[in-house]
Amino acid sequence: MRNLARGSTMAVVAGVGLALAASLGLVADIGLIALERARMQSAADAGALAGALGLADGEERARQAADRYVAANGGPAEGATVTFPRGGQIKVVLRKEVPLLMPSLLGSVPVPVAAGATTAADSRFVGGARPFGVPESNFTPAGSYVLKAGPQGGQHGNYRALALDGEGTPAYVDAIRHGAIRALHVADWLSTKPGNMATPTEEAIDDLMATTSIAVGRVFDEDPGCAFDNICNPQFCRRLVIAVLVDPLTYYEADGRKPVRVAGFARFYLQDRSNNGEVYGRFIDRLSDQTVAGRTLRYWSRLVQ
């Protein structure tokens, strides 16, 4: 009887040990699968983001960039499946067979693990001054100022518009939308652009203001003393513009198309516009740089799935 009891106890202990080992193995396998999938997801994200930036040079370059970054971030040896679901998007999918730690006990085969990421590419002109010549003054932070005057604020046929990249209206509108192509320097002499040009100005300003979220538009209303850069990213805020500060004496003496002297540069947040060509901006800060570079086309990518 005693030997039988001892044998039964040993059988129970062995069974418990086997169950415990199986449980520990299962936990380890689950952790292994989760870890491997996290690694694959990071590699897929990196590949998709890099591939999206490569889309500017064509799909083949994008595919090569995606493969390169997947490999550099520990992606599986099987490589990536790269597709282009729609214009401006790239999808990277990774698959791998992960062997379990205890296949003999669980009687299982390697588990297929997959991860994927889809990114969209975008581009935007950044930098470049806007064609607004604001007379130099003691600006108040968050204060509202006229960047472009209307019929009631003109001086000798000028309404604070500048001819930065040429004298034509298309060049003026392009500079509002995307910033000036040319670099500007303090002490430069720039030509004014006579005429109100209400409709072209309004359409260009509407384009800039339509792409900004409500949250960004309420920055100063919520906290007039806030630090603008800590609340929104200026790179993606098209309502943040650089205006040219001009010497008041040269501006008020300009009659028709005449040169005005650059006194500095300041950042303004586009606040509103009227129906007669006026543009209003809230003063952010004065730039310490003596030069404002011309606009550049910047590319970036973002995960969408």
Give the model confidence (pLDDT) of 242-286 as tens digits.
999 999 999 988 888 999 999 999 999 888 899 999 999 999 889
- The answer as to whether 278 is a domain residue is yes
SS3 48: helix
- Domain span including residue 193: 127-299
- The answer as to whether 304 is a domain residue is no
- The answer as to whether 35 is a domain residue is yes
Same domain, 54 and 169: no
Q: Which of 74, 101, 121 is the last residue of a domain?
A: 121
Q: What is the pLDDT of residue 36?
A: 82
Give the total number of structural domains in the chain: 2
User: Running DSSP on this structure, what letter comes out for residue 199?
Assistant: H
Question: Could you report the per-residue pLDDT of 192-249, keeping only the tens digit for each?
Answer: 999 999 999 999 999 888 866 544 445 555 444 444 444 444 455 778 899 999 999 9
- The answer as to whether 170 is a domain residue is yes
Same domain, 116 and 134: no
Report phi then psi at 179, rounded to 5: 90, 160
Same domain, 38 and 136: no
Nearby residues of 197 by Cβ (< 8 Å), 6 or more positions away: 159, 161, 169, 172, 277
Closest residue by Cα to residue 193 from 259, 113, 237, 247: 259
Q: Which of 121, 149, 172 is the last residue of a domain?
A: 121
Same domain, 80 and 109: yes
Q: Answer yes or no: is pLDDT of 2 > 70.
A: no
Same domain, 244 and 181: yes
